[in-house]
Amino acid sequence: MSATDYRSSLSSAFERPPRVALLWATPRSYEESVAAARTCYSGGGVVRAAQVSGEGLGDEQAQLRKQQRDRIAASTFAAGHHTTLQHGHASFALDDVSRQLVWSFLHAHPFYNSEQVSQRYVEVRPERVAIPHLPPAADRLYRRRIEQQTRDYQDLISLLEPVATAEYFAVFRARSKRPERWRSAIHKRAQEVARYVLPLGTHTWLVHTVSVLTLLRYRRLCLEPDTPTEAREVVLAMCDALFEQDPLLRNLGVEPMPREALPAWRGAEQFPSDASEMAREFDEQLGGRTSALIDRFADNPRRVADAVRQVLGVPRAHLSDAEAIAMALDPQRNPLLGESLQTVHHQKLGRALSTAHYAFAKKLSHAADSQDQRHRMTPAARPMVQAFLSREPDFAVPRLIAHAGGEAEARYRQSMTETWADAMRLLDEGIPAEFCAYLLPNAVHVRMTETADLQALRHKSAMRLCFNAQEEIWQASLDEALQIAAVEPVLGKWLLPPCAIRVAAGVRPICPEGDRYCGVPVWQQNPEDWQRVL
């Protein structure tokens, strides 16, 4: 199928249906998977797709090959030998899909790759919001709330720009001599914060690439909460587009699991939700932090040191713990840490870091967590948003809003209060929770337990301790680095921003961001002293 818009044959539940286009797919994924399976038992080299389909053979022989192909495909699939299906991939252009769908479904697992338009840097247009077909009165309320959220967003950009300008030039004093040159950069800082009032139903567009196996799993689970209606439309359209190119994939017989059979729905119906009480219990763990270290292996440093010694074949008597750890974590000793290619997961000594483990209780806004979850090697048990449709507004307040105070903060808090009230009205009128949740703002809190090994955490810290990182993720990463340094200083001292790593590795320029340099010589400061508003 060419890269043209494709819609499911189902009538859409939305005024503006999701758009799906198949950009590219591995040719003959079904037969390639069988060829890969046969290669495992081949004494004559790699088996090709043409061989499993009987190309070039007579009709009778070709028919026998195809029967063999289908038997192998069915038996390996039924037995759970699914790696063969990961040799086939498909890349889709998705448009008019909600941010909630992306967060709750498409990015809620590690087996994908996406490039998505950024709300931090691209201003949101008012018409780009998911609008489900609702009864007339509910439809009017829903649309009024979206229109008001859009006005709040645009007004907050204007209200925040003067404060952002003052903060920006307080850091970049020399740039204040040519303010026009930096107007766009400052506007984006205000825009990044104003987006917190936008609804979760705001449309996005992205290139999304998955293996055939992942797409089949999507199909099986497309009725999972939080977005079963939208996910079903999008996933079935993705599958239809791929199956049109490779009809043999239908032979695998994967169909959506009924909603009533899915354990998340069963649990939600079996146990009454009490979002306020659950939030109170969770927040007690945080102690005022964004991310709190709640568990770890008691001997993490020894585990890492032992793993390094095991890689090298060196006994403890010849290589101390501190020296072994430095070989893996000190950028001066391991200069690959200073490179942007991020090869730690591929290094033999780098993989020793996977032996240390941590667990964090973390509270972020939906906007921040939508970026945090892209760190797929630090997985989390993320909540059902609709389970948190509580009567009391529960939202994050960005630093710039709190710093601005006055009219900007008042407008922000009013938007939160009114948005929650309208979402509750819709829920009371019997509108499905999944559609009510589309109105919740990007600021809505997401609470989760996140786990990480030191290998993945070191990479995440190197990305998110940068002062250009989204502020909540930056704060969470700083919380994590400081807590680990307090209990495991021999490990925690190497959780550093990219500039500090590059200094230690002797890499220049110190900041890899070019014109996006934050303006703060972070590498010269102690982590305990790091502060930022923008």
Q: Where are the domains of the chain?
A: 19-118+203-269, 136-201+386-440, 295-363+446-529
Rounded to whole angstroms, the Cα distance separating 394 from 442 reads 11
Q: Transcribe 66-135 into DSSP letters.
A: HHHHHHHHHHHHHTT--GGGGG-EEEEEEEEEEHHHIIIIITSSSS-EEEE--TTTSPPPTT-B--B---
Question: Does pLDDT of 388 surpass 80?
Answer: no
Q: Transcribe 346-357 into DSSP letters.
A: GSTTGGGGGG-E
Question: Does pLDDT of 44 surpass 80?
Answer: yes
Rounded to whole angstroms, the Cα distance separating 151 from 162 reads 18
pLDDT tens figures, 71-99? 999 999 999 999 999 999 999 999 999 99
- Give the model's pLDDT for residue 9: 41
Q: Which amino acid is present at 337? A: L
Question: Does pLDDT of 69 surpass 70?
Answer: yes
Question: Does pLDDT of 272 surpass 80?
Answer: no
- Give the model's pLDDT for residue 4: 37
In this prediction, residue 262 has a pLDDT band, given cuts at 50, 70 and 90, of very high
Average per-residue pLDDT for the chain = 95
* Cβ-based burial of 56 (10 A; exposed 0-12, middle 13-18, buried ≥19): exposed
User: CB within 8 A of 392, min separation 6: which ones?
Assistant: 276, 420
Task: Give percent of the chain with pLDDT exceeding 70.
Answer: 98
Question: Does pLDDT of 326 surpass 70?
Answer: yes
Rounded to whole angstroms, the Cα distance separating 304 from 355 reads 6
**3-state helix vs strand vs coil in the chain, percent to 5:** 55, 10, 30
**pLDDT (average), residues 141-160:** 98
pLDDT tens figures, 495-532? 999 999 999 999 999 999 998 899 999 999 999 999 99
In this prediction, residue 10 has a pLDDT band, given cuts at 50, 70 and 90, of low
Rounded to whole angstroms, the Cα distance separating 76 from 78 reads 6
* Cβ-based burial of 173 (10 A; exposed 0-12, middle 13-18, buried ≥19): exposed
Count of Cβ atoms closer than 10 Å to residue 263 Cβ = 10
**pLDDT (average), residues 417-428:** 96
- Give the model's pLDDT for residue 92: 98
**pLDDT (average), residues 348-360:** 97
| Adjacency order of strands within the sheet including 89-98 | 19-25, 89-98, 203-211, 113-116
In this prediction, residue 3 has a pLDDT band, given cuts at 50, 70 and 90, of very low
Question: Does pLDDT of 266 surpass 80?
Answer: yes
CATH for the stretch 19-118+203-269: 3.30.1360.170
* Cβ-based burial of 224 (10 A; exposed 0-12, middle 13-18, buried ≥19): buried
Rounded to whole angstroms, the Cα distance separating 270 from 435 reads 21
